[in-house]
Amino acid sequence: MLKDYKSVVAFGGGTGLGRLLAALSFLQERLTGVVTTTDDGGSTGRLRDATGCIAWGDLRNCFNQICAEPTLGRLLFEYRFADSGELSGHNLGNLMLFALDQLTARPLDAINLVRDFLNVKPKLLPMSEQPASLQAATADGTEVRGETAVAQMSVLPDRLWLSPAVSPTPEVMDTIANADLILLGPGSFITSVMPSLLVDDIQCAVLAAPCKRVLIANLIAEPGPVGALSLSGQIQWMAHILGGSVVDAVLWPASRCLEDAPSIPVHVADVASPDERHEHTKLAQALATLLK
């Protein structure tokens, strides 16, 4: 049973990873989200440009997704300034994380303080405590830098990497080493799921992990060249970028037509809510069925 797993680690970005962590929050401290920190848009991008900090936006979004109750803490964390001069467009949660980072020894300390403040039980770890940008190159050698620019590419990258190369935290490596289940996605494939796997040590650890590694597909095909790939094509491209396969099984939504299924197990299930997001109970039940 899923509830009996001792250590589940999930990789992804803000909204998709946050929905997954919320769905599996009954695991409490046995659940860890490794969060992408390459965002360079909006409030996060402005903070990065001004201070050289890591990207806080996906971490903040995960906190907001996990906190289901509209508490004062959550309302403060979600607040976005408007008509406030230089503060306009900034998210208070990003500023709080940045401020706590300045007051503590390391970014993870700031994240854990927010976990306590919002009473979030699952652990959240940044993929690295060092700032990095996502870079991509096409087959003809054209290079693109920055998560926002990579997301807007009209052709599928032939190479994908982080600049500069960064190291994971010891906590991330320990979590992967002790995991008995690894989950990838849902979320934007290139800019949410892939960046953490581009950290060299994380990549090696996930490639070598003896536990089951499950890809959770998006409810609808995302825009751009990745969305045009079949499931088999997506898994093959992922293996090309990472130097090996990191997917042992796939959870596929019943709302999408499945074409060109891969040779690995694929469990098709209704996991959608009426507003076309992953529904917490359905997602947890579908994962439990896949893992039997």
pLDDT of the residue at 216: 98
pLDDT of the residue at 62: 95
Stretch 70-78: mean pLDDT: 85
Q: Is the pLDDT of residue 259 over 90?
A: no
pLDDT of the residue at 82: 87
Q: Which residue has the higher pLDDT, 73 or 184?
A: 184
Q: Considering just the CA atoms, what is the radius of gyration of the chain in Å?
A: 18
Q: Hey, where are the domains in the chain?
A: 2-38+123-291
Q: Is the pLDDT of residue 68 over 80?
A: no
Contact in structure between 194 and 241 (CB atoms under 8 Å): yes
Stretch 116-131: mean pLDDT: 96
pLDDT, averaged across the chain: 94
Give the other-Cβ count within 10 Å of 277's Cβ: 16
pLDDT band with cut points at 50, 70 and 90 for residue 232: very high
List CB contacts of 171: < 8 A, sequence separation 6 or more: 108, 125
Q: Is the pLDDT of residue 88 over 90?
A: no
pLDDT of the residue at 89: 84
Token reading at 122: 């699952």
Strand pairing of 212-216 and 249-253? Answer: parallel
pLDDT of the residue at 276: 83
Angle (CA) 143 146 226, round 5° = 75
Q: Would you list the DSSP string of the chain?
A: -GGG-S-EEEEE-SHHHHHHHHHTGGGGGGEEEEE-----SHHHHHHHHHH-PPP-HHHHHHHHHH--S--HHHHHHH-B--S-GGGTT-BHHHHHHHHHHHHSSSHHHHHHHHHHHHT--SEEEES-SS--EEEEE-TT--EEESHHHHHT-SS--SEEEEES-----HHHHHHHHH-SEEEE-SS-IIIIIHHHHTSHHHHHHHHH--SEEEEE--SSPPSSTTTTS-HHHHHHHHHHHHTS---SEEEEETTS---S--SS-EEEE--B-TTSSB-HHHHHHHHHHHH-
Q: Is the pLDDT of residue 86 over 90?
A: no
Contact in structure between 150 and 134 (CB atoms under 8 Å): yes
* 141-200 pLDDT, tens digit each: 999 999 999 999 999 999 999 999 999 999 999 999 999 999 999 999 999 999 999 999
pLDDT of the residue at 55: 96
Q: Is the pLDDT of residue 264 over 90?
A: yes
Top CATH class, 2-38+123-291:
alpha beta
* 40-61 pLDDT, tens digit each: 999 999 999 999 999 999 999 9
Query: Shortest CA distance to 107 belongs to which of 47, 184, 67, 64?
Result: 47
Token reading at 196: 């953490």
pLDDT of the residue at 74: 85
Cα separation, 76 vs 78, whole angstroms: 5
Contact in structure between 158 and 139 (CB atoms under 8 Å): yes
pLDDT of the residue at 130: 97
